[in-house]
Amino acid sequence: MAIRQIRTVEDEVLRKKCRPVEEVNDQIRQLLDDMAETMYHTENGAGLAAPQVGILKRLVVLDMGDGLIKLVNPVIISQEGSQEVIEGCLSIPGVAGRLIRPAKVTVEALNEKGEKVRYIGTGELAKCFCHELDHLDGVLFTDKVTEYIHL
């Protein structure tokens, strides 16, 4: 495993749309492991999307305290309600803001074995899913902020 460099807001890779993963193989599993190690190496990292380490593939890792989740080609298939949240981002250090996210989301993806998985997230987990999946389409949380918060 390796700790990768996290790209920051000035890097144009963060604004690009990621390509689907065609095959879940050892290279993809290694990249997911590297992303997880990178996320755990950062302070306050709860999730990381592949473009944040300069890779334009639809890959996400996250851990909200209940264990590591690795997602390949994740898609939000349903969402319910709304919640006001406060977010920050490893790619935009020192910035936080309020925004509206769904209160509940259902995500379908492949796991690191290539098996179809489904997660239902509410509250903070729903927020994290939305934040990380936005990265896969070149969307940053700052695009949705209703009010900035000074740290």
Domain ranges of the chain: 12-149
Q: How confident is the model at residue 151 (pLDDT cuts 50, 70, 90)?
A: low
Q: Which of 10, 37, 115, 132 is catalytic?
A: 132
Residue 138 pLDDT more than 80? yes
In the chain, the percentage of residues whose pLDDT exceeds 70 is 99
Residue 89 annotated as lining a ligand binding site: yes
**pTM higher than the cut 0.85:** yes
Architecture category of domain 12-149 in CATH: Alpha-Beta Complex (3.90)
CA dist 20 and 76 (Å) reads 14
In this predicted structure, what is the pLDDT of residue 1? 75
Calculate Rg over the CA atoms of the chain: 14
For the four alpha carbons of 95, 73, 61 and 101, in that order, the dihedral sign comes to: positive
Is 108 buried (19+), middle (13-18) or exposed (0-12) by CB count in 10 A? middle
22 is catalytic: no
Residue 131 annotated as lining a ligand binding site: yes
Residue 135 annotated as lining a ligand binding site: yes
* CA triple 61-143-4, angle to 5 deg: 35
